[in-house]
Structure 1
Amino acid sequence: MHKPRHIKLSAEHTGAVRFLSGLHVNLEEDKPTSWVTLTRTGSFTDPRYGTFAITGAMLLAMVNNFNKGVFGQDVFIDVAHRPNDGAAAKVLKLTVEGERLRAFCEWTPFGVDAIKNKGYRYLSLEYHESWKDNEKGADHGCVMLGAGLCVRPVIKRLDPVQLSVSDEDGIAVLLHPSLQTTLLQELDTMHKDALAKLKAKLEAKKLAAPVIAALMEAAEKSVIHLSDASQAQTLLDSFEQSGIKLAEEIGDKVVTLSINAPAPAAAAPGLTQEAVIALMAEQNQLAATTAKQLAEKKAANVKLLADTIGAATGFDDVMKKSLTDTVSDLITADMTEENVRRLADLQIKNGNELVVARQLTALGYPGAVGNVHITVDSSNQVKSLQAQVDKRLGFEGMDDAQRYVNTGGQLQRANKELADKVLAQFDAIHGARLAAEHKQLAAGTGSVSDVSVPAIFERTVIREALYSIIGLQFVDVGTAGFSATLQLPYSYRDTSAAGRGNTRSYEAQGIRRSGIIQTFEETRPIPQKLSFRVSDELRLLAANGQLSDFDIVIENMRNATRIIAEDTEKLIFDEVLNSNDEYGAISVAAEALTGVNGTNAVFVLANFPVVRPRKVFDLKGAQQGATLNPIVVMYAGSAKSEFDGSGTQPAGTYYVLDYNLGEIRFVSEAGAPVLPANATAITVAYSKATNALRFDTDLGSLAAPAKWDDFLYRFGLRKDVIESQRYFSANYSLMSGTVRTMIEQASQFGANNKRNGTDLSADGNLGKIKDVPGFKSSAPGLMMGDQRLVIGQRANTRFRMLKPWAMEELENARDSGGNFTGQKEAYGTQFIALLTPALLKGATTSVALYSSSARVNRAS
């Protein structure tokens, strides 16, 4: 049992530090905003906490995390670190200027009053050196949590860096050295002013000079212990009262006084002025020693930087000096050797890119800097290189009907647009390789390297794969930079705003707003990876021409093209269907299966289609967040997992679910059927899809043409749901070839019964239904199978290419024992993002085709 935890949902953070700055806050008249300095870099010590450092990297991290909104809320300045009293200002901007952290603030009347009328003259920064959010537990590094307006702190010990004010909340408060000096000066001034006023009052009572001197000496020794003005005034008031009594008793007579005036009980313990001066001298000496050590450490780091860059090959002395001088000012004493070496490695990388740029300039790319960006439209060299490979792969002169067979014999606009964007993305990454390959292959077709796959081959894989994907016509396509998470922006119609019939308003009446709302959703990269292996013998035979018209790499490229295209096609079509079923999904509590009699092996659920569970994974394959629309199958009191066909699941019983038809059966880990014993208790909890019309394909008393005429009528009703109820436009439908063939039996496709908007294309395939173009899904293993048809509006699902297809180098293959096999192997990777925003899932609807006579509990 866990120990009960006390959780406070407030702004308290273990590890937070407050840094008290001595720079005053100044507000111009009638201006609600101003720039203020929060802190600066430096190193500080405290007996309880050791060494504290504020580095330039920490300041930059605070600014970066502020700009990214890592803290999850606006950052405020309060008064005396009491946020519940209200905000004194809101931090609008955060920046680093030299060694200072500066904030642009918008002040509230509460804050203005505290500064102008209540004496709050200092700012105390509050930050966390390694802040973790309380949702995902991610470590974001140094994060600014806020700041507080402060008056002079209650100094308990006048150390150079002092934890002060109050330690009630457990947050360390660091005092800036310059502020500490200022406070000492203010304390001394306060003591002198108060003692001068006391002396004047005593002299006004006509006391003898020796009596006044004795009282003043005692008062000065007592007040030196106090740093609080109110306590000091209380003490001196008591001396004034003593003077009044003496004046009444002895007047201006000279007497000898023996005064015992210990420090008041309420006074805070402290150091004498002499001790403070000694400590200050000691600190000055320490500061000088520390400064010398820091200078020596910085010089050593600069030398390490220069030596590391100097050891790099391929650079002349001038470039080495330039690479060193460019970043030497960034070197600080507190940098570790590892940090310095990493900075040097970065400069070496930059230097290599400059060398490449110079070489590419000599190749005919003037003005190139870093990685050269080459596009097919602007580079005749790449065009020439691509033409050679197209000829080798058989694309040159190929008839469009053959090359673009998947997209109706024509290169579709959406496919061409995305391919151009992705190829530009690829060329920007691999420009140097493409330029080198052009020079190598300029005299002919050349030969394939034994250690790498030519970039132009990879480029061709990308182009042909994207050209052949039907699904790109139905989604919003584009490219994006590779990252662990991706924010996909989109807009949707605000149905609560003006619609049809809401545009009429008369004098003095409100005018309805036509609302379009912009927002975004987060998604994660989807990996696509393939590897291949060829034997050395086969590779050598092909290279020697003994296997005519056969190229090992070409064959693998063709295969990769087909597989990557099919996998991308499947991902798109499955996402369209899944998002369709998720719209309006309803959970079904544990439903007991019927017909468990020891004979039946297939069981039907009361509802169908069943919504597929959705899981999101990070790049390491770890699931992120909870499963959407989960399925729980209980078999004889034991929860069962879904059969995945991997052959790696432990021995046991697993379920197989036909999501379209709502039919479930059970198998072993090897996929062999498992027959539930008679009366076995089996329950299934799931979510049913409501965004689907169920159409029974049994003919009954109807002939096939009349049956499918009825289907066309139902199709029109689903189209009307999208257009009249959800404000989308139905401009495509997706189905398998089998479903398309069945629909074509409708009499309305015949010449005598043909209706406008419902016809066949020139080759006899389905053209339009109710003026909605129909398309055949072609990728194998699609979730829609022959039981589903989707109707919807295009470009609502988002498809982004994050990293285009690229192969790694060929490597020697080894067996499980680590021995060479005489083969070469390589793999390629591609990353995409695919998501249908939640508020756009209603842009599609669907039809589920089933046979009522076949959909029953049965033996097989």
Structure 2
Amino acid sequence: MLGNRRIQLSAPGHRGRGTGSDTPRFISDRVDARQLAEGKRITATIIRAGIFTDPRYGTFEVSRELLETFIKNFDAGTYGQEIALDIAHEPNEGAAGYFRRLFLDGNKLRGEIELTDYGIEAIKRRGFRYLSADYVENFVDNETGETHGPLLRGAGLVVRPAIKRLDPIQLAETDPDTPTILCGRAARILTEEAETVMKEHLKKLRAKLVAKKLSEGVIEQILASAEANMKQLGEDDKALADAAARFEDLGKQLAEEIGDKPATLNIQLGESGEGGKQLTEDDVERILADRQAQAEKESKQLTETKAARVKTFNEAIDNAEGIDEDTKKVLREAEDLITPEMSEAQVKKLADRQIALGNRMSTSSQLAGMGYHVAGSPSVNTDEINGVKRLQESIDNGLRGSVSGANGRLRLPNEDSPFVQRLLAEFDRINHRALVLEERTLAGGETNIGDTNFPASFTRTVIREALSDLNILQLVQTLTDPSQQATTQIPYEERDTSSVNNDGVVFEGQGIAAASIAQKMDLAYILPRKLAMKISNEVMHFARASRINWDAYGRNVESNARVMRELVHRVIANEMQRASDSYLAQDVSNEDVSARLDGSNSIIKTAEFPIVRPHQQYDMQGNAVGNEENPITLSIDGSGVSRYDGTGNQSAGTYYRVINYNLGYIQLVDESGAQVTPSATSASLSYSRATNIAKFDLDNGTTAVGVHLNGLLRTIGARKAVMRGEDRMVTPDFLLMSPVLNDTVTNADQFAAERKRDGTDTNNDGDLEMVKSLPSFGTNAPGIDLGDERIIMGARGTTSYSVAKPFTTGQPFEAVNASGQPTGQKVAYGEEYSAIHTPKPIRNRLTSVIAYSGDARANA
């Protein structure tokens, strides 16, 4: 239950409230006065997510959900007035600005603010540079009495905000007893300002040194010394100017020395004062001589290092067995690629690659001598096979330290399921060469990957992450077969004991009846599932350098894996529901629905429910195969109404779409998807209704909720008994439902500790609470047909997910926004060839329970 506290996040003691003598100051964002102009909008951070402690409010949490509710209430105008920025949380003193937009930036709430003259003056002249949020935890409308949850009432320009340590921070000790805590954004701004001032002085110094006709080498030495000296001076413009002048004089003296004009340098470097060091002409000559000697020493060391590396390389080639001398001579030519900067390990890896090449050359030569003409590169290289494993381990280790890995949003399993292993094995076969090159890149070795390649290891990680966190795969038969073409065969078992008579008793000389569990195959069509995958340039950078921003990599993996996971989950769940409903479905012909079409309704409610989802099989080219199963036909005033396909390319007119198969709701829309409310004198609807279900009305009337929901448990138990009866002889071993419906089920009294029955408890087998000894699995994808009303019960492996080609991407292209501007991201189109299918003879291994509100449907 939300409280209704008003929270102002300025530090205690601000404006005289509290002592505040030892309160750390957190700078959440800085308002740059130099960029202000009258009426100009600024963007600043208001508050950030985290758990904090304040002497006024105790411990409180600022969650991402709270920030999202701030934005929702702001956009809805819930407060009933403009949200203002004041000064020091004193709204009666006037508005410093008004918030025009709120948005999330990671875990930060940021806002666009249109400043008033009062606000500009406070920032420019009074030193108010930081924001402090003012919000209530549960806003109550004083007119309607409605509650709206957390609401941002405004914010104040303050000197000391209260919230601290939300970002990686730096401490600027402006007071020995009171540290000022700088967030990364504020520290970066201050650093950039100081560097900008310093670079301007260095630019002017360079121009003056060039005018003195000094050599480029001397100029670079002076500038390097000047930059090192200036970095100690911060953004003190006068001190920087003085330092630049001293180095200019040094340049003048050096120019005179080079021109054989004797002069004594009297330039003071570093801090001014008597304690500074004076550089004479001899000092300058000594410095230049030392640098020359150092350069010669380093050059000699590089030469010796390269010679040692080349020796190591040639020794490795010479010691290789099974390679003739002529081939070794060719292999040793790669020594030109060795540089002094290469490590000994890198040189050994280069030698190993050359030796592997030599083995392939020798193998090809020997086979050719035996009469075999070899195409390609014959080799069996266990190091490359293990390289893919090392690559994935390196990526996993990096991701575990990322933000997404640390907060649990990435699963990163230590061991893959057998299906995922088979799928990745096929992916590795298709993308073997790219994965090997990427492993070498990540290890710091040489590679020829271009900087426009879409990393195959990224796609591999996305597939692994998506399928490893997809619990619905535990409920289906998972198959991989790269030999599949346009169709595939789905295996299933069928039990037949009909020919066994007399309890199997057979007397002498009589025929013995055959009973069997037949292994059969059902035809399924392979369909191409295509998806565009987006990745940031930060991740793409690893194609040309081994340094990776793991936080950016993790965010990209997380978002793309979620899209893929939700897509696969939705298709499988909808197929399981359709297969269950199609068993024993009954046709409903020409149901009169004209009463609903009175000009005020866009929703048609069927007399019978649930509706069976229609199914039309297609081949790879999109051609229909056979007749549609369980079709829906709608006619209004004698004209047929087509199904809305969501493409936006349909011609102008009226279309239908099913918005709830469970409750039988069909909506009428136009070609854009907007609802329409036609008037009709006649309208008829034909469809199929599901009978392989049990219904339970959640409306409890005067009965206690817990007692009433016991009936839902009994309904589930009765459906389980039907499955195990002699008509089906199926042992169900799972339930599939939404977490919301599972929570409703657990409110039944039978879950109470004192009345708990064996088989109906909160033992976690699956990812939801077990019901009637059946493990419960939750749906974790939006837009699936189950909704919050349906429970699917069945035997695992009834539906099959067969993959012919795992998801593989092509070449990337630049992503652009709605204005056609590049976004610094790449998009790569990928596709998977697979079939999701339930053989018709075994659809009786699935059934459903519908839990719905009868009153709500009656009033719909």
Task: Provide the TM-score with structure 1 as the length reference.
Answer: 0.52
Write the distance in 2 (CA, Å) between the matches of 1:653 and 1:662: 19
Match of 2:393 in 1: 387
DSSP 3-state at the match of 2:589? strand
1:441-590 to 2 correspondences below 5 Å: 441-443=442-444, 449-481=450-482, 482-494=484-496, 496-498=498-500, 502-507=503-508, 511-532=512-533, 551=552, 555-590=555-590
Match of 2:624 in 1: 623
Deviation at 1:550, TM superposition (A): 5.2
Write the distance in 2 (CA, Å) between the matches of 1:542 and 1:381: 16
Which letter maps to 2:752? G
CA displacement, residues 552-600 of structure 1 (integer Å, 9 cap, x when unaligned): x664443222211111111111111110011111111111114444444
Residues 733 and 774 in structure 2, CA contact (< 8 A), matched pair in contact too: yes
Deviation at 1:777, TM superposition (A): 1.3
Which letter maps to 1:385? L
Deviation at 1:473, TM superposition (A): 0.3
Which letter maps to 2:559? N
DSSP 3-state at the match of 2:478? strand
DSSP 3-state at the match of 1:728? coil
Deviation at 1:360, TM superposition (A): 9.8
Which letter maps to 2:756? K
Match of 1:694 in 2: 695
Which letter maps to 1:387? E
Write the distance in 1 (CA, Å) between the matches of 2:676 and 2:468: 44
Write the distance in 2 (CA, Å) between the matches of 1:749 and 1:364: 73
Residues 375 and 427 in structure 1, CA contact (< 8 A), matched pair in contact too: no
Deviation at 1:540, TM superposition (A): 7.9
CA displacement, residues 714-746 of structure 1 (integer Å, 9 cap, x when unaligned): 111111111112011111010001110110111
Write the distance in 1 (CA, Å) between the matches of 2:657 and 2:452: 44
Match of 1:779 in 2: 781
1:646-661 to 2 correspondences below 5 Å: 646-657=647-658, 658-661=660-663
DSSP 3-state at the match of 1:621? coil
Matched length: 496
Which letter maps to 2:581? D
The counterpart of 1:733, out of the listed 713, 716, 735, is 735
Match of 1:641 in 2: 642
CA displacement, residues 684-737 of structure 1 (integer Å, 9 cap, x when unaligned): 111111111121111123211111111111111111111112011111010001
CA displacement, residues 64-104 of structure 1 (integer Å, 9 cap, x when unaligned): xxxxxxxxxxxxxxxxxxxxxxxxxxxxxxxxxxxxxxxxx
Residues 611 and 688 in structure 2, CA contact (< 8 A), matched pair in contact too: yes
Residues 448 and 454 in structure 1, CA contact (< 8 A), matched pair in contact too: no
The counterpart of 1:768, out of the listed 763, 767, 770, is 770
Write the distance in 1 (CA, Å) between the matches of 2:515 and 2:802: 30
DSSP 3-state at the match of 1:684? strand
Residues 498 and 515 in structure 2, CA contact (< 8 A), matched pair in contact too: no
Which deviates the most, 391-400 or 739-748? 391-400
Gaps of 5+ in 1: 1-354
Write the distance in 2 (CA, Å) between the matches of 1:357 and 1:635: 77
Write the distance in 1 (CA, Å) between the matches of 2:410 and 2:651: 44
Residues 527 and 834 in structure 2, CA contact (< 8 A), matched pair in contact too: yes
Which letter maps to 1:726? R
1:654-693 to 2 correspondences below 5 Å: 654-657=655-658, 658-677=660-679, 680-693=681-694
Match of 2:417 in 1: 416
1:421-440 to 2 correspondences below 5 Å: 421-440=422-441
1:37-76 to 2 correspondences below 5 Å: none
Aligned pair 1:848/2:854, yes or no? Answer: no
Residues 371 and 432 in structure 1, CA contact (< 8 A), matched pair in contact too: no
When residues 537 and 768 of structure 1 are mapped into structure 2, their CA distance, relative to the original with a 3 A threshold, is closer
Write the distance in 2 (CA, Å) between the matches of 1:769 and 1:534: 42
When residues 619 and 702 of structure 1 are mapped into structure 2, their CA distance, relative to the original with a 3 A threshold, is same
Match of 2:604 in 1: 603
Deviation at 1:526, TM superposition (A): 2.5
Aligned pair 1:749/2:730, yes or no? Answer: no
Deviation at 1:497, TM superposition (A): 3.8
Residues 737 and 791 in structure 2, CA contact (< 8 A), matched pair in contact too: yes
DSSP 3-state at the match of 1:853? helix
Write the distance in 1 (CA, Å) between the matches of 2:731 and 2:839: 17
When residues 801 and 372 of structure 1 are mapped into structure 2, their CA distance, relative to the original with a 3 A threshold, is farther
CA displacement, residues 286-329 of structure 1 (integer Å, 9 cap, x when unaligned): xxxxxxxxxxxxxxxxxxxxxxxxxxxxxxxxxxxxxxxxxxxx
DSSP 3-state at the match of 1:647? coil
Deviation at 1:369, TM superposition (A): 9.0
Which letter maps to 1:723? R
DSSP 3-state at the match of 1:756? coil
When residues 374 and 474 of structure 1 are mapped into structure 2, their CA distance, relative to the original with a 3 A threshold, is farther
Write the distance in 2 (CA, Å) between the matches of 1:514 and 1:401: 55
Residues 662 and 850 in structure 2, CA contact (< 8 A), matched pair in contact too: yes
Deviation at 1:787, TM superposition (A): 1.4
1:87-98 to 2 correspondences below 5 Å: none
Write the distance in 1 (CA, Å) between the matches of 2:779 and 2:638: 40
Residues 430 and 455 in structure 1, CA contact (< 8 A), matched pair in contact too: yes
Which letter maps to 2:479? G
Write the distance in 1 (CA, Å) between the matches of 2:557 and 2:381: 21
DSSP 3-state at the match of 1:493? strand
CA displacement, residues 514-550 of structure 1 (integer Å, 9 cap, x when unaligned): 2222322211122222224578799789999999765
DSSP 3-state at the match of 1:676? coil
Match of 1:81 in 2: none
Identical aligned pairs, as a percentage?
34
When residues 762 and 802 of structure 1 are mapped into structure 2, their CA distance, relative to the original with a 3 A threshold, is closer
When residues 722 and 716 of structure 1 are mapped into structure 2, their CA distance, relative to the original with a 3 A threshold, is same
Write the distance in 2 (CA, Å) between the matches of 1:420 and 1:510: 48
- Computed over aligned residues only, the root mean square deviation of the Cα atoms, in angstroms, reads 4.2
Larger radius of gyration: 1
Residues 505 and 511 in structure 1, CA contact (< 8 A), matched pair in contact too: yes
Match of 2:43 in 1: none
Write the distance in 1 (CA, Å) between the matches of 2:837 and 2:354: 39
Write the distance in 1 (CA, Å) between the matches of 2:446 and 2:729: 55
When residues 704 and 495 of structure 1 are mapped into structure 2, their CA distance, relative to the original with a 3 A threshold, is farther
Which letter maps to 1:774? S
Deviation at 1:439, TM superposition (A): 2.8
Residues 706 and 749 in structure 2, CA contact (< 8 A), matched pair in contact too: yes
Match of 1:402 in 2: 408
Match of 2:712 in 1: 711
Write the distance in 1 (CA, Å) between the matches of 2:359 and 2:470: 37
When residues 443 and 545 of structure 1 are mapped into structure 2, their CA distance, relative to the original with a 3 A threshold, is closer
Residues 375 and 423 in structure 1, CA contact (< 8 A), matched pair in contact too: no
Residues 596 and 676 in structure 1, CA contact (< 8 A), matched pair in contact too: yes
Match of 1:82 in 2: none
Write the distance in 2 (CA, Å) between the matches of 1:429 and 1:824: 22
